[in-house]
Structure 1
Amino acid sequence: MDPPEFRPLQPGQMENNDRTLKELATPDVVYQPWCIQYPQLESAQTYELKSGLIHLLSKFHGLAGEDPHKHLKEFHVVCSKMRP
């Protein structure tokens, strides 16, 4: 299943979307990764995650307004910028 295309709407134009508000607010697990997966490193490479880096990231408390997928995505972005 391909993700929906982004098409900007013209001013005053509304998208015809027959889904309910509950359906729109429900996260689609098809597009959300279940976990962070890193490729296998070569035998000579090592990967170290510094504790100071973890403290720079926002904390996830599990509150109703927090999105766990967004939190993991931000963590993934930071870690993917690091080189082994």
Structure 2
Amino acid sequence: MPKGKAGSGGQNGGTGMSDAKRLAGGRMPAPSYPSEAKRKGQSGTIVVEFVVGENGSVISAYAKSPSPWPILNQQAVSCVRRW
């Protein structure tokens, strides 16, 4: 099964966002920034690893390299799972 990472790409052989879109069949929901995190000034980079099944749906996803803010990690993983 294909694996991919949504991220900046080029780091440690990671897959970039354009590759993530291709792996997900181009169906990417617009991510929303959690209002609580925005209000508190929380930001971070989250690397999400995911597995795509033969039918193109996301089978599993987790924050491989999480931020210190759980709400951002949850939102990033949730967004990938909706692909």
| TM-score relative to the length of structure 1 | 0.30
For the pair shown, the structure with the greater C-alpha radius of gyration is: 1
